[in-house]
Amino acid sequence: MLRPGADPQNVQQSDVLCNFCERVWTDDLPLIEGHQGSIICGHCLRAACANLEKGVLAPSHSSCTMCLEHRDDPAWESPAVKASVICARCINLGARSLERDKDFNWKRA
DSSP string covering 27-46: TT--EEE-GGG-EEEHHHHH
Is 25 near Zn ion (CB under 5 A)? Answer: no
Exactly one of 1, 32, 87, 95 binds Zn ion (CB under 5 A); which one? 87
- Return the number of the residue (18 or 58) whose C-beta is nearest Zn ion: 18
Is 6 near Zn ion (CB under 5 A)? Answer: no
**Maximum distance among all Cα pairs of the chain, rounded to whole angstroms:** 41
From the list 6-14, 17-25, 54-62, 93-101, the region that binds Zn ion by CB under 5 A is: 17-25
Return d(Cα 85, Cα 27) in angstroms, integer.
24
Residues binding Zn ion (CB under 5 A): 18, 20-21, 23, 41, 44, 64, 66-67, 87, 90
